[in-house]
């Protein structure tokens, strides 16, 4: 049946992580669902985010150190061919053909709302009972004088390169700037990161970001903090330069802008639906992801939620269930797991700073045998524990930190105590020993100092008394 012949039970706008999950969830629930995508199926995660960036990082990690200062056109071709291959291998899973195979109807085109429960897609009228907006976000480009003239790259457009520049200026100091900056430096690009803030990665705890900054500098990245680019300049020879507020000039062949993202709602015609946006441009919705229009929900990067693919996916499932079943499951912006894929990785979840009677247990990776064996001991594992021994959150810095984070995330989500975690047998030697040993450290402290310790002492003395009585009887 054509999309304009009936009101759809659910229409999902946007086929990225949130929209795909929403549509698949809706089909599992038996709904008739129409998924609309204006550009590429799979969204930012597949084409300009997680997949290409992690492919680039992996290839940079494998680059022989002797070649990291002499990248050439052939090597660059191999790098970007590898990225294309990774995307093309995953793309079929998110294709219209795969979606139609599970009963999701698809439609390619630009969607624009025309009323509370109607829209136009490429000239077709589409009516719906409920809808989910999952149109994601896109890079925000600051209005720095001269920036447009130097043809800046963003996290969306950098993948169009087929040659690596000799010198690159990166504006911004967040996750994208650090991940791509380090990877490019390892491939031989002379990278300068410029940011107006006092330090990179402002959302991470100080010790974690200090380790990453040190690693960036070891890899040859120049980091300029507390600086502001006042103007970009391109001369007659096509050389471009960033002119800073302290008079410094930084020459570059290309500029990468990584200064944040903004919601992709400009062409949606939300005014016709009564759906509001907040002061930052994100769609306003309550914790159940319902908007001001009771027929419309929002999911993923277009909302106030953290901008991670896994958060988008979960929010898509939540929005679909709430929209179709009338449930009120909620999403929250605090405590979501996140991984920075630099070397070392930073993996964090839940509470990061202790309050009241919370305790902090930290294990330096000089005491993790796997890290010692691999001669990579600069990291640490840190957990926050409440007075009842429950793990509230933590940060892991080191190789494969993102893999260890799964266990820590489960512990936080399920309110697992350090005592329970220590009772689980762990394989040896692994980097997850850091988490286990941090739990053991706190569990032992509680045994020495708390009620559990006093009870153990009483039981020990009682067992000793009974043992002595048994000896006397014999």
Q: Kindly report, residue by residue over 275-327, the tens digit of the pLDDT.
A: 999 988 999 999 999 999 999 999 999 999 999 999 999 999 999 999 999 99
173 is in an annotated binding site: yes
Interatomic CA distance for residues 13 and 11, integer angstroms? 7
Provide the pLDDT for residue 1.
40
Sorting pLDDT into bands at 50, 70 and 90, what band is 73?
very low
Whole-number pLDDT of residue 74:
47
109 assigned binding-site residue: no
- Provide the CA 430 distance to its chain's centre, in angstroms: 24
- pLDDT for res 474: 59
Give Dmax over CA atoms of the chain in angstroms: 103
Q: Measured in whole angstroms, how far is the alpha carbon of residue 240 from the centre of its chain?
A: 32
pLDDT in tens, 388-407: 999 999 999 999 999 999 99
Span 331-358, average pLDDT? 93
Which two structure tokens, joined as six digits, stand for 298? Answer: 């929002």
Q: Mean pLDDT check: name the lowest of 82-91, 128-137, 450-459.
A: 450-459
pLDDT of residue 134: 98
What 8-state DSSP symbol labels residue 390?
B
Residue 344: other Cβ atoms inside 10 A: 22
Task: For residue 54, say whether it is annotated as part of any ligand binding site.
Answer: yes
Checking if the pLDDT of 72 tops 70, the result is no
Numbered ranges of CATH 3.30.390.30 in the chain: 344-451
As a whole number, mean pLDDT of residues 173-189 equals 96
Q: What is residue 117's three-state secondary structure?
A: coil
**Where does the pLDDT of residue 471 fall: very low under 50, low under 70, confident under 90, or very high at 90 and above?**
low
**13: part of which helix (H) or strand (E)?**
strand 7-13
Q: State yes or no: pLDDT of 4 exceeds 80.
A: no
Render pLDDT for 7-54 as a digit per residue (tens, 0 to 9): 999 999 999 999 999 999 999 999 999 999 999 999 999 999 999 999
What are the angstrom distances between the C-alpha of 106 and each of 20, 93, 330? 11, 14, 28
DSSP 40-70: -TTHHHHHTSHHHHHHHHHHHHHS-GGGTT-
Q: What pTM, to 2 d.p., does this model score?
A: 0.91
Residue 65 pLDDT class (50, 70, 90 cuts)? low
CATH placement of domain 7-41+95-139+262-325: 3.50.50.60
Lowest-pLDDT range of 61-65, 138-142, 217-221: 61-65
The verdict on whether residue 172 carries a ligand-binding annotation is yes
178 a known binding residue? Answer: yes
pLDDT tens, residue by residue, 413-424? 999 999 999 999
Mean pLDDT of 76-91: 90
Query: Would the pLDDT of 66 be above 70?
Result: no
Tell me the Cα Rg of the chain: 26
More confident residue, 72 or 466: 466
What is the per-residue pLDDT for 448?
81
Is 137 marked within a binding site?
A: yes
What pLDDT is recorded for position 468? 80
Q: Confirm whether residue 136 is marked as ligand binding.
A: yes
Is 177 assigned to a binding site? Answer: yes
Q: What CATH class is the domain 148-261?
A: alpha beta
CATH 3.50.50.60 in the chain: give the residue spans: 7-41+95-139+262-325, 148-261
Look up the CATH number of domain 344-451.
3.30.390.30
Q: What angle do CA 319, 323, 328 make, to 5 degrees?
A: 75
What is residue 455's predicted lDDT score, i.e. its pLDDT?
A: 76
Pick the closest to residue 195 from 142, 233, 135, 270 (CA basis): 142
């Amino acid at each position: 049946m054509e999309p304009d012949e009936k009101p759809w039970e659910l229409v999902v706008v946007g086929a990225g992580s949130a929209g795909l999950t929403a549509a698949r969830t809706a089909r599992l629930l038996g709904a008739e669902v129409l998924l609309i995508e204006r550009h590429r199926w799979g969204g930012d995660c597949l084409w300009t985010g997680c997949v290409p960036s992690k492919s680039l990082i992996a290839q940079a990690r494998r680059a022989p150190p002797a070649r990291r200062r002499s990248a050439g056109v052939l090597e660059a071709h191999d790098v970007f061919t590898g990225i294309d291959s990774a995307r093309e291998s995953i793309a079929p899973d998110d294709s219209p053909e795969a979606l139609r195979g599970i009963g999701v109807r698809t439609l390619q085109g630009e969607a624009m709302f025309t009323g509370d429960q109607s829209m136009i897609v490429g000239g077709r009228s589409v009516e719906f009972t409920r809808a989910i907006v999952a149109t994601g976000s896109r890079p925000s480009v600051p209005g720095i004088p001269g920036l447009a003239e130097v043809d800046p790259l963003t996290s969306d457009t950098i993948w169009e390169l087929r040659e690596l520049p000799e010198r690159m200026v990166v504006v911004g100091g967040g996750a994208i700037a650090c991940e791509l900056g380090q990877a490019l430096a390892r491939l031989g690009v002379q990278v300068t990161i410029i940011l107006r803030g006092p330090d990179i990665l402002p959302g991470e705890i100080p010790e974690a970001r200090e380790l990453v900054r040190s690693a960036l500098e070891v890899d040859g990245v120049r980091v300029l903090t507390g600086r502001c680019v006042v103007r970009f300049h391109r001369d007659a020879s096509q050389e471009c330069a960033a002119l800073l507020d302290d008079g410094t000039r930084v020459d570059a062949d290309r500029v990468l802008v990584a200064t944040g993202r903004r919601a992709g709602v400009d062409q949606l015609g939300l005014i016709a639906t009564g759906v509001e946006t907040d002061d930052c441009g994100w769609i306003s919705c309550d914790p159940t992801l319902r908007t001001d229009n009771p027929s419309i929900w929002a999911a993923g990067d277009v909302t106030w939620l953290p901008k991670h693919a896994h958060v988008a996916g979960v929010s898509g499932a939540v929005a679909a269930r709430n929209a179709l079943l009338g449930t009120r499951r909620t999403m929250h912006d605090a405590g979501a797991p996140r991984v920075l894929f630099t070397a070392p990785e930073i993996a964090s979840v839940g509470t990061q700073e202790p309050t009241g009677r919370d305790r902090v247990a930290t294990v330096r990776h000089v005491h993790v045998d796997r890290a010692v064996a691999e001669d990579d001991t600069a990291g640490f594992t840190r957990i926050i524990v409440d007075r009842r021994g429950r793990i509230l959150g933590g940060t892991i810095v080191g190789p494969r930190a993102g893999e260890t984070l799964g266990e820590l995330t489960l512990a936080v989500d399920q309110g697992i105590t350090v005592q329970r975690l220590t009772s689980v047998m762990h394989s040896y030697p692994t980097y997850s020993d850091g988490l286990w040993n941090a739990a053991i450290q706190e569990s032992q402290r509680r045994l020495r100092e708390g009620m559990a310790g006093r009870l153990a002492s009483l039981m020990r003395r009682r067992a000793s008394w009974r043992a002595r009585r048994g000896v006397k009887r014999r």
